[in-house]
Structure 1
Amino acid sequence: MNETLSLLMNHRSIRKYADRPVTEEQLKTIIAAGQMASSSSSVQAYSVIAVTDSEQKRVLSALSGNQRYIEECPVFLIWCADLFRLKKAGEAHLGDQGTYVDSTENFIVATVDAALAAQNAAVAAESMGLGIVYIGGVRNQIAEVAEHLKLPELVYPVFGMCVGYPDQNPGIRPRLPQGSVLHHGTYDGSKTAEEVKSYDDTYTEYMRARSGGKPAASWSQFMAKRLAEPVRLHMKDFLQEKGFMKR
C-alpha cells in the first residue's frame, strides 16, 4: 500500500481540536488542492467561505445544531454550490438572452462540483497532519446561515468542514462490505439483505467498543430511524427561492 492509499484508508472524522492555528499558507494550499478536483465542463461551480472569527463560529455553531467543534476548530469552511458566478460570466456575452442556469441539471453540477472539491481539500488537509469533519448541520437553518454569510441568489451552503490539528485519535468507522457497493455490468441487489446483516454485526461491534461496552443499535436500525424522521424538509422551498431547480 502506497502513502496515498494509506492516507485514504485511515480517514476518520475529527471532532476535537488542539489549540493550534492553521496557517494562511496551509489554508491556501488546502483550497488549491480542492480547486484541482474534477469539474463538469470546467464550470467550477462552487465557492468556499473560511470562518476564523470566534464570534462568527459561535453563531454558525448555534445555527448548525450547537456542535461545539465548530467553535473549537481553528478554521470552519463552508462549501457552497455557486451558480451566481456562472450567471454573471454568461451575462457578459448573452446580454438579455434567457439561460438555463436555474435548471435541475445545473443544480446537480454545482452540488457535485462542491463535493468533489471539498473531498480533495479534506485529503490535502489530512496529508498535512490536520483533521476534518463534515458538518451537514449548516442546512438545519439554512436560510439563516445563508443570510449570515450574505450568500447571493444561486448560491447555497452544501456543508461545512471543521479543519484543525486533531486532539483525539478515534477508531476508523467500518464501511459497508465492498460487495454491497461494487456491481459488475448491472446492478445486483440479490445479496443486499445478506450484506446488510453482515455489516450490522460489524457496525454493532464497533459502536459497542466505541461506547465502552454499552448496548448499541445496528446500522440498519439507525438507517430505519433516519428514514422515518422528517429531516430538513425546508430544503426544496429554500433552494427554489434561491433560484435553483426552476425547471
Structure 2
Amino acid sequence: MLAHRSCRTYKPDPIPEDLLQVLLAAAFSAPSKSDLQQACVILITDRNKQQHIANLSTPTAWIAGAPLFMVWCGDSRRIRRLAAWRNHPFANDHLDAFMNAAVDAGIAMQAFIMAAESVGLGCCPVSQVRDQIDGLSAALELPDWVFPVAGLCVGWPVEAGRISLRLPLEVTVHTNRYDDSAMIEHVADYDRRREAIEKTPPDRQRGVEQFGVSDDYGWSENRTRQYAVPARSDFGRYIRSQGFDLS
C-alpha cells in the first residue's frame, strides 16, 4: 500500500475475465455500513460508450485509452426496493442515506484498487466523470437513488509511475481531539520536500492566467488554486434529482 501510485497509460492487453471476477469479488468483500452493501459498479465494455464518457470528462485520453473502464456508484435504490418488497417503510430518507451509499462505494473502489495492484495492474480513479453529471447519468441510465462516485481506469501499466509524497502524519493524525495548530508549518515543510522531489515548472502551474507564476509553488498552492475556481456546483441539484432528500 505504501507503494501505491496512479497509472494513466496502459498496455493494450485485456484483463482476463476470470481475474476480473476475482477482483470484483474482493472489492465487494470490503467493509460496508451496517452490512447494507450500498455500492455497485458499472463496467463499460462498449467502446463507443467509453469514448462518449471520455468526451464528457476532462482527461479524455485516460478514459478512452484504458483497457477497462468502470464507474463506481452509490446505490441506495436496492435497499429501498427491498423495503417495499418486505412491506416496510423506508424511514431514513435524509442526508445520512446519501452519505452511507457514497462511503460504501468509495470503500469498495479502494478495495478493488488494492486487489488489482496486488496482481500487477495499474489504476487511476477519475472524479472528473462528475464534471458533466447529467450526461454521464444519462449514458449509464442511472435510476433514482443511484449516483456516480468516480470512474476507474484499469490496465497493465506501460511504466511503473511515481509515488506521490503524502501529507505528514502530524497533519492527518490527531489524538483524543482535533488539533491543527501546527498545520501551516507542517504543510509548508511538506511543500518544500515535495517540490524538491518533483519541481513544478512554470508551464505546469495551475491557472497562470488568473493567479500568475509563483516562485513558491507547491502542493498547497496548487490545491488552493484548484479550489479557488468553482466546479461541480450543480452536484447537489443532481443528487436531489435522483430522489435523495439531503435535509
In the superposition, the TM-score normalised over structure 2's length comes to 0.91
Q: Is the 8 A contact 1:173 1:206 kept in 2?
A: no
Question: Residue deviations 1:115-142, cap 9 Å, x none?
Answer: 0111000000001110000000110011
Superposition pairs of residues 144-183 of structure 1, within 5 angstroms: 144-183=135-174
Q: Secondary structure at the match of 2:217?
A: coil
Q: Which amino acid letter does the alignment assign opposite residue 162 of structure 2?
A: G
Normalized against structure 1, the TM-score is what? 0.91
Alignment CA distance shift 1:123-1:216 (3 Å): farther
Q: Could you say which residue in structure 2 is the equivalent of 1:11?
A: 4
Contact 1:207 1:216 in 2 (8 A): no
Once the 2 structures are TM-superposed, how far is the Cα of residue 101 of structure 1 from its aligned partner?
4.8
| Within-5 A mapping of 1:194-213 | 194-208=185-199
Aligned to 1:136: 127
Q: Distance in 1 between matches of 2:183 and 2:45?
A: 44
Q: Determine if contact 1:22/1:75 at 8 Å carries over to the other structure.
A: yes
1:230-241 map, 5 Å? 230-241=230-241
Query: Aligned match of 2:63 in 48, 55, 70?
Result: 70
Larger CA deviation: 202-211 vs 59-68:
202-211
Q: Is the 8 A contact 1:138 1:160 kept in 2?
A: yes
CA distance in 2, matches of 1:141, 1:48: 19
For structure 2, the 5+ residue unaligned runs are 206-214
The CA distance in 2 between the partners of 1:18 and 1:209, in whole Å, is 27
RMSD: 2.1
1:219-238 equivalent positions in 2, closer than 5 A: 219-238=219-238
Q: Distance in 2 between matches of 1:206 and 1:169?
A: 17
Bigger mean CA offset, 133-142 vs 24-33: 24-33
How far 1:153 sits from its partner (Å)?
A: 0.3
- Which one-letter code corresponds to 2:20 in the other structure? L
SS for the counterpart of 2:86 is helix
**Count of paired positions:** 238
- Partner residue, 1:192: 183
Unmatched 5+ residue regions in structure 1?
A: 1-7
Cα distance in 2, alignment partners of residues 159 and 149 from structure 1: 13
Q: What do the CA deviations read for 1:215-237 (whole angstroms, capped 9, x no partner)?
A: 88211111221221101001010
- Counterpart of 2:37 (choices 44, 47, 62) is 44
